[in-house]
Amino acid sequence: MNEIVVIDYGVGNLLSVKRGLEHCGAKVKITSKPKDIINASKVILPGVGAFKNAMKSLNRLGLIDVIKEISNREINLLGICLGMQLLLDESDEFGVTKGLGLIPGRVVAIPSKNKDGISNKIPHIGWSNLINSEGNAYWDQGILKKVKPGDSSYFIHSYMALTNEKKYTIAYCMYGSEKIPAVVQSNRIIGCQFHPEKSGKVGLNILREFCES
């Protein structure tokens, strides 16, 4: 199995991601060196916290162009939680901030009220069932291959990544009456809003699929 490169830019519980990957039998390198990232075959962009701070950290480490370059190469990239949101064009969080622009779409706040006026507790924290986006064939081909529609994974977030076109959203979950993208994908660029490293067996199967893909 190839080595998995996890990008260290100062945010996120890297230890858990590393332990999850190792549990799947992967060799893991945690790094912020552009050379390591661009020469990898599989890269994970983790992250928790605020969008703006994350982009600032990536910028300071000179990693924005490096990650963008990934999409031109034979490299599989998986963004987790905030790392997924960073893949989109921009975010509304604390004023509009530009993202990496690898998947067309924008990051917006989860509405604090449902359409029927019932309030949603924010953040969305908990295990939500993954639902297959209509007519999307990626489910059976990508990281969700071993996951059944209806399986649950662990989410913790206040913003959501809305893709411009339906075809980029592979799976979603419901929070109140909100439809929240759970897995987004454009070719080799993949993002999941939930934490696979914290989602028990279902999450480990997703990580394993990414490692073996």
Partner 1 sequence: MTDYSFSFKNNVRLIGRLDIKGENLIKGIHLEGLRVIGPPNEYAHKYYLQGVDELIYMDCVASLYRRNHLANIISSAAENIFVPLTVGGGIRSVDDANKILRAGADKVAINTAAVENPQLISDISRKFGSQCMVLSVEAKQISDNKWEVFTNNGREKTGLDVVEWIKKCIDLGVGEILLTSVDREGTRKGFDNLLVRNVTEESSVPVIASGGMGSPEDIFKVINEGGASAIAMADILHYGRSNINEIRNFAMQSGFGVREYSVE
Considering 24, 93, 197, 211, which one is annotated as catalytic?
197
Annotated catalytic residue within 24, 81, 192, 211: 81
- Return the DSSP state at 188: T
| Shortest Å distance, C-beta 114 to partner 1 | 6
- Of 99, 113, 130, the C-alpha closest to 206 is 130
Considering only 48, 108, 110, 162, the residue that binds partner 1 (CB under 8 A) is 48
**203 touching partner 1, by CB under 8 A:** yes
Asked if residue 16 binds partner 1 (CB under 8 A), the reply is yes
Query: What is the Cβ-side half-sphere exposure of residue 136, based on CA atoms within 13 angstroms?
Result: 22
Residue type, 8: D
Residue 133 tokens, joined: 């986006």
The DSSP bridge partners found for residue 4 are 28, 42
**CB of 120 vs partner 1, minimal distance in Å:** 9
Using CB under 8 A as the binding rule, whether residue 165 contacts partner 1 is answered as no
> Which of the stretches 26-34, 65-73, 116-124, 182-190 binds partner 1 when contact is defined by CB under 8 A?
116-124
User: What would the two tokens of residue 58 be?
Assistant: 């990536």
- The whole-angstrom distance between residue 156's C-alpha and the CA centroid of its chain comes to 12
Quick check: 154 and 126 in contact, CB under 8 A? yes
Shortest Å distance, C-beta 72 to partner 1: 31
Of 156, 166, 164, 148, nearest in space to 192 by CA: 156
Active site annotation includes 197: yes
**Stretch 125-164: interaction string toward partner 1, x if CB under 8 A:** xxxxx----x---------------xxx-x-xxx------
From residue 67, alpha-carbon distances to 61, 114, 180, 187 in Å are 11, 36, 25, 15
Quick check: is 124 catalytic? Answer: no
Residues marked active site are found at 81, 195, 197
Q: Would you tell me which residues interact with partner 1 (CB under 8 A)?
A: 13, 15-16, 19-20, 23, 48-50, 112, 114-116, 118-119, 121-123, 125-129, 134, 150-152, 154, 156-158, 174-177, 179, 195, 197-201, 203-204
